[in-house]
Amino acid sequence: MDLIEDLQWRGAINQQTDAEGLRAELAKHPVSIYVGTDPTGDSLHVGHLIPFMMLKRFQEAGNHPVMLIGGGTGSIGDPSGRNSERVLQTMDQVRANQEKLTNQLVKLFGTEDFQVVNNYDWLSQISILDFLRDYGKLFSVNTMLNKEVVASRLETGISFTEFTYQILQSVDFLHLYRHNHVTVQMGGADQWGNITAGVDLIHRIEGADTPVFGLTIPLMLKADGTKFGKSAGGAVWLDPKKTTPYEFYQFWLNQDDRDVVKYLKYFTFLSHQRIDELAEAVKTAPEKREAQRTLAQEVTKFVHGEDAVMSAEKISHALFSGDLRDLTADEIAQGFKDVPSVTIPRGQTNIVEFLVDLTKIEPSRRQAREDVQNGAIYVNGERQQSLDFTVDTDAAFNGDYVIVRKGKKKYTLVNVKG
């Protein structure tokens, strides 16, 4: 099975400009292929993984991936997928975002045989007269208006700035063809118009038989029809400071049975046989969630590394069992990020005073004494039934936290200061 057949089996190809031509090109020699992303934020998110995973597959098959960060195009805004103009960022913000995205990309793709380029480097060198003379004359407004990415905005309105985006993206493809030997552009389904415009520009300038190709990836929808990539808390980021590795792991672990096989095909490098085995497990023993656990392990390992997987599973086990003693302070911060929290000064306090006066976990001393004596109070994972017990803030987790559990599941994260 060749690369294109594998991608088709995984449901990863939507449209191609020349399917047979690309297959023939791949059979002859490795190709250089690029994906672009604009630095509109300071982190990538799981939605970006959709084209990135395909780019990684090309890399694994011996081809040469090029990642374009749109320092130039990102300063004006891509009209796709929205009903309004993008808010323009300052160039300082674009540059700061670009640096952070570059670091994330190198982590995913490595430094060997992988390039990150910035289209600001060449777009900023084109004067307005050169732009209109050398490129504007080669684009028909009628054709541009018929591109879905523009047509979808005609009713609500589109500025000339965003209207020209497809020309700039076409210039990117031409530049990368000439200077980086790139012959393939890949993007999401909403990029089809921009990609085909780039192929057409190269054919106009370099010749109709120039071997350049475009392909898009299907829109990723969940079984309920909503867009993939969101959680209850919003976007799921690749930056561990914005979405902890534990939260990232849980996002994949909690996927619907109806979606998990599709995601295994798309977001992992597991063999067809192993994915078929997991698909069967979803049918015969869905309660074990083996497919979801494998998905969470594989994607977390790809983005954050093997240690992050081990830590996420350690946190999950500790929360399930209630035994928190082996967790590190960092793992406590990850696992209890979303539970109710209070902040107290460092020191030693009788458990009743701790529960009532310091943390307000209990409404009264009477209730606190009753819950302690009944065995409903756990401090740092251990049940405390003595009214004489002293809570020592330095007893665990580097003195940064105290974890209190009331009953079976009601946790409070106590932050220690001073």
Q: What CATH number did the domain enclosing 275 receive? A: 1.10.240.10
> What is residue 259's predicted lDDT score, i.e. its pLDDT?
96
Beta strands in 230-274 (DSSP E): 230-231, 234-235
CATH number at residue 407: 3.10.290.10
β-pair type (64-69, 32-37):
parallel
- Cβ neighbours, 10 Å, residue 229: 16
- Dihedral angle at the C-alpha atoms of 383, 389, 392, 397, nearest 10 degrees? -10
Tell whether the model's pLDDT for residue 84 goes beyond 60: no
β-pair type (182-188, 234-235):
unpaired
Out of 217, 243, 274, a domain closes at 217
In this structure, the answer to whether residues 260 and 349 fall within a common structural domain is no
In this structure, the answer to whether residues 63 and 131 fall within a common structural domain is yes
Q: Which of 346, 343, 369 is nearest to 356 (CA)?
A: 369
Share of the chain above pLDDT 90, in %: 75
Out of 261, 289, 321, a domain closes at 321
Out of 289, 321, 353, a domain closes at 321
H or E element, residue 331: helix 329-335
Q: Is residue 160 part of a domain?
A: yes
> What is residue 183's predicted lDDT score, i.e. its pLDDT?
98
In this structure, the answer to whether residues 243 and 187 fall within a common structural domain is no
CA atoms of 84 and 153, how far apart (whole Å): 8
In this structure, the answer to whether residues 262 and 183 fall within a common structural domain is no
CB-CB contact of 380 with 324 (8 Å): yes
Which residues participate in the annotated binding site for ATP? 230
Average pLDDT, the chain: 91
Answer with the residue of higher pLDDT: 321 or 83: 321
CA atoms of 36 and 65, how far apart (whole Å): 11
pLDDT digits (tens, 9 = 90+) for 244-303: 999 999 999 999 999 999 999 999 999 999 999 999 999 999 999 999 999 999 999 999
Paired tokens of 84: 């309004």
pLDDT digits (tens, 9 = 90+) for 154-204: 777 888 888 888 899 999 999 999 999 999 999 999 899 899 999 999 999
Q: Which of 102, 103, 83, 99 is nearest to 91 (CA)?
A: 99
> What is residue 218's predicted lDDT score, i.e. its pLDDT?
92
Answer with the residue of higher pLDDT: 159 or 345: 345
Which residues participate in the annotated binding site for L-tyrosine? 34, 165, 169
CB-CB contact of 337 with 250 (8 Å): no
Give me the number of domains the chain comprises: 3
Paired tokens of 4: 């294109």
In this structure, the answer to whether residues 55 and 135 fall within a common structural domain is yes
Angle ∠(405,409,415) on CA atoms, nearest 5: 40
Angle between helices 192-206 and 165-180 (to 10 degrees): 50
Q: How confident is the model at residue 147 (pLDDT cuts 50, 70, 90)?
A: confident
Q: Is residue 43 part of a domain?
A: yes
214 contacts: CB under 8 Å, gap ≥ 6: 16, 17, 184, 185, 186, 187, 192, 195, 196, 198, 199
Please compute, for residue 41, the number of CA atoms within 13 A of its CA located in the half-sphere on the CB side. Answer: 10
In this structure, the answer to whether residues 40 and 184 fall within a common structural domain is yes
Angle ∠(100,78,266) on CA atoms, nearest 5: 65
Tell whether the model's pLDDT for residue 81 goes beyond 60: no
In this structure, the answer to whether residues 207 and 83 fall within a common structural domain is yes
In this structure, the answer to whether residues 123 and 43 fall within a common structural domain is yes
Beta-bridge partner residues of 237 = 45
pTM score of the predicted model: 0.86
CATH number at residue 133: 3.40.50.620
Q: Is residue 164 part of a domain?
A: yes
Q: Is residue 127 part of a domain?
A: yes
Paired tokens of 10: 């995984």
CA atoms of 397 and 191, how far apart (whole Å): 48
Domain that holds residue 81: 3-217
> What is residue 232's predicted lDDT score, i.e. its pLDDT?
61
In this structure, the answer to whether residues 190 and 261 fall within a common structural domain is no
> What is residue 322's predicted lDDT score, i.e. its pLDDT?
84
Across 78-100, average pLDDT:
74
Which residues participate in the annotated binding site? 34, 165, 169, 230
287 vs 281, 293, 332, 391, CA distance in Å? 9, 11, 27, 39
CA atoms of 52 and 109, how far apart (whole Å): 9
pLDDT digits (tens, 9 = 90+) for 196-237: 999 999 999 999 999 999 999 998 888 888 888 766 667 899
CB-CB contact of 411 with 380 (8 Å): no
Reduce the DSSP state of residue 88 to 3 states and report it. Answer: coil
Could you say which DSSP state residue 85 is in?
P
Q: Is residue 153 part of a domain?
A: yes
Q: Is residue 335 part of a domain?
A: no
In this structure, the answer to whether residues 48 and 155 fall within a common structural domain is yes
CA atoms of 37 and 191, how far apart (whole Å): 11
> What is residue 233's predicted lDDT score, i.e. its pLDDT?
63
H or E element, residue 414: strand 410-417
Q: Which of 322, 239, 183, 327 is nearest to 46 (CA)?
A: 239
In this structure, the answer to whether residues 23 and 134 fall within a common structural domain is yes
Q: Is residue 85 part of a domain?
A: yes
Q: Is residue 261 part of a domain?
A: yes
CA atoms of 131 and 218, how far apart (whole Å): 32
CB-CB contact of 88 with 77 (8 Å): yes
Count of residues in the chain: 418
**What separation, in Å, do the N-terminal and C-terminal C-alpha atoms of the chain show?**
62
Could you say which DSSP state residue 183 is in?
E
Paired tokens of 109: 């793709």
pLDDT digits (tens, 9 = 90+) for 315-330: 999 988 888 988 999 9
Q: Which of 216, 166, 212, 213 is nearest to 187 (CA)?
A: 216
Across 123-143, average pLDDT:
92
In this structure, the answer to whether residues 373 and 409 fall within a common structural domain is yes
> What is residue 85's predicted lDDT score, i.e. its pLDDT?
59
